[in-house]
Amino acid sequence: MFKAKHSISLLFNANKVYDRHVIEGIGHYLQSSKVDWDIYLEEDFLTRIDNIQDWVGDGIIADFDAPAIQNAVENISIPIVGVGGSYENAEDYPDVPYVATDNYALVKCAYEHLKQKGIERFAFYGFPPDDNHRWATEREKAIIKLCKEDGYDCAVYRGHPTRPETWQYSMNRLSDWLQGLPNPVGVVSVTDARARHLLQACDHIGKLVPDQISIVGIDDDDIARNLSRISLSSVTQGCFEMGYQAAKLLHRRLENPKLKNKIVMVPPIGVAQRQSTDFKALKDPYVIQAMHFIRQNACRGIKVDQVLDYVGISRSNLENRFIQERGHSIHLEIHNEKLAKACNLLKTEDMQTSEIALICGYPSLQYMYAVFRKHFDLTPKQYREKHVPNS
């Protein structure tokens, strides 16, 4: 009968993209190192800590951002590796080998991205402090510190926990806070899920993204990104690397139980830049309104007349303002927005070119081919092959 050398339990609640990528990194270590481990993970990827003390195994990799999980394994004598957020105070780290996402570096990545866009006013949307969101408190402290070092103020709003019975009240209070922010402003959101709240509230109150408010989240979560009409810029955490390093630490501890505890700090991968921070320091209020409408509707096949109807001024007036602010016509702005969308889909999505043509508002696939030949001297297929090797 087959018996693995070690039985390992993974204690994660993988309803978050963060946890899933950590688990993926652990799996990659198993494949690349050829360790002889038998992995225990609940079929629904949820952690059940009842009677965890009775579990017979050789090692555990656990999500220490969840206090209930951390407390449940506290008195277990087998080797344990914790995975979670970093702490400003070294005394806050657990007394086990620990792999941390660098909260300060995550926030700095988002903050520097906004600064590079020319933004000089900042805000932070976080969580109400509690034991389950210790990492959120660390991120809040980080943005305040970064802004203070550069001589900026930072408006902080923690909001409310997301609950069905208080959802409308919470969104109304968030809207009140947003309306009190100066324009333009850059907001770092503690997660992508909270950033989506910001995008929804801005849409309801008419706050223009990114012209009046630029938003960057943390997680680069596909679900949060695809549920918003404006695509969200987000900091990608090094979760895969965290999982890999956690498995590596456990492997070493199993081989040598006397090894000293070690903290491994994993930096972010970088910012995935999208529409929500595509800020250009526009001053003309009519051009700002027109740009907002074009970003939202260019791929729906809009024409210049529809932009004029939205803004409410004459064509000659708006065209002149566009030339002064953007250096080109309204028609070219619509064209550029559609082309940028098509290029991004070709590089990032495994879609048929005919489907991309439809999504981007081109009247036919042949028309999109003509546009690409004119701009790049390439067909859409050749453009994809050039930018996505082995596609």
How confident is the model at residue 366, as a pLDDT?
94
Average pLDDT over residues 34-57: 77
The alpha helices in the chain, defined as continuous H runs, are 17-33, 67-72, 103-116, 134-149, 167-179, 192-205, 222-226, 239-255, 285-297, 304-311, 315-326, 330-348, 353-359, 365-376, 380-387
Least confident piece of the model among 18-32, 39-53, 161-175: 39-53
Please compute, for residue 204, the number of CA atoms within 13 A of its CA located in the half-sphere on the CB side.
15
Q: What is the mean pLDDT of the chain?
A: 91
What is the percentage of the chain residues whose pLDDT exceeds 70? 96
Residue 22 pLDDT > 50? yes
pLDDT tens figures, 230-240? 889 999 999 99
Beta bridge partners of 60: 9, 80
Average pLDDT over residues 33-53: 78
The enclosing H or E element of 213 equals strand 213-218
Query: Which backbone phi and psi does 239 adopt, to 5 degrees?
Result: -65, -40
- Residue 352 neighbours by CB distance under 10 Å: 9
DSSP state of 271: E
Q: Which domains does the chain have, with CATH numbers?
A: 6-101+238-268 (3.40.50.2300), 103-236+273-277 (3.40.50.2300), 285-387 (1.10.10.60)
Average pLDDT over residues 316-330: 91
pLDDT tens figures, 249-261? 999 999 998 889 9
How confident is the model at residue 1, as a pLDDT?
36
- Residue 238 neighbours by CB distance under 10 Å: 23
Residue 57 pLDDT > 90? no
pLDDT tens figures, 129-158? 999 899 999 999 999 999 999 999 999 999
How confident is the model at residue 3, as a pLDDT?
47
pLDDT tens figures, 194-208? 999 999 999 999 898
